[in-house]
A and B are shown apart, each in its own frame.
Chain A
Amino acid sequence: MEVEAQTTEAGLVVRVLADRIDAAAAIEFKEAVRRAADHPGAPVILDLGRVVFLDSSGLGALVAVMKMLGPDRPLHLAAVTPNVAKVFRLTRMDSVFVIHDRVPVALHRAFG
């Protein structure tokens, strides 16, 4: 799976260039984000603007990425599309991730 990483004032923005994070893509997704976020430091902002489908495997992969980054490096999700947002809401996992409507240009300190 292809991702595109860019360092911004807000943090490391990792844009997912696939339209699905599902069982077929979950392992590749984790690996791609791990590589993109290789250097420690800035918060990671995952731009999901192109992702129109997320299943339970994809949700599990997002949680795995969050754990991989560790407690000191927050994972933010941005530009979540409606069907993906619904998966977060129905599973109540929207309480675990910081979710932004669009990719933030800067992060408030409170977000870490």
Chain B
Amino acid sequence: MIPVPASRGPKAEAREPPVRDAADVRPAPGCIGRPVFARRFVASDAETRATSALVVAALAGAGLDAEELGAVELVLVEALNNIVEHAYPAAGGPVEVSVALTGDTVVLDILDWGCALPGGRLPDPGPPWPASLPEGGFGWHLIRCLTDALEHVRRDDRNRLRMVVAVAPRC
């Protein structure tokens, strides 16, 4: 059972129970394309690294080239970094990553049961000013640069982020 602080609001009774075991992990409802990867884990920097390695291996097997793999890996890692840092700031919580391929896109769906995004919307901060020597704030900018579609849905206590990355058409 995932502990949910009482402060999560009046909708708490309506929330969906989080998926509990690996057998339940499947592409999110409404997922498009051919599923190539699904994994559930507890958010941490180490799991971000492990999951991105598995996703890259699965997509390399599907024929993506090094540049495409680099873009997918970067947006996935940035999204998972955000979950580790902001959705679950106190301790790790559950995350599900599923990846599907259409003919010319990679579709990444990431679910978490952590904090909502500030203002309930996808941040669009633009790049930080280089001359200010920023040590952070690059994540959403990189995600926006490298994705062709980006969607966030907060339903009850769950965030679903969908990122679509265009790749060379393949059969």
Q: Please give the residue numbers on chain A whose beta carbons come within 8 Å of chain B beta carbons, in ascending order.
A: 20, 22-24, 53, 55-57, 59-61, 63-64, 66-67, 82-83, 86-87, 90-93, 95-96
Q: How many CB-defined contacts (below 8 Å) exist between A and B?
A: 79
Q: Chain B residues with Cβ under 8 A from A56's Cβ?
A: 78, 81, 136-139, 142
A24 vs B133: C-alpha distance when bound (angstroms) = 21
> Does A91 contact B142, Cβ atoms closer than 8 Å?
yes
B-side interface mostly: helix
A30 vs B137: C-alpha distance when bound (angstroms) = 18
The size bracket of the interface on B is 20 to 34
The smallest C-beta distance from A101 to any residue of chain B, in angstroms, reads 18
The smallest C-beta distance from A85 to any residue of chain B, in angstroms, reads 10
The smallest C-beta distance from B68 to any residue of chain A, in angstroms, reads 10
User: Chain A residue with minimal CB distance to B84?
Assistant: A23
User: Chain B residue with minimal CB distance to A20?
Assistant: B49
User: Chain B residue with minimal CB distance to A90?
Assistant: B145
A9 vs B112: C-alpha distance when bound (angstroms) = 51
The smallest C-beta distance from B64 to any residue of chain A, in angstroms, reads 13
Q: Chain B residues with Cβ under 8 A from A22's Cβ?
A: 45, 48-49, 77
Which chain B residues numbered 34 to 81 have a C-beta less than 8 Å away from chain A? Answer: 45-46, 48-49, 66-67, 70-71, 73-74, 77-78, 81
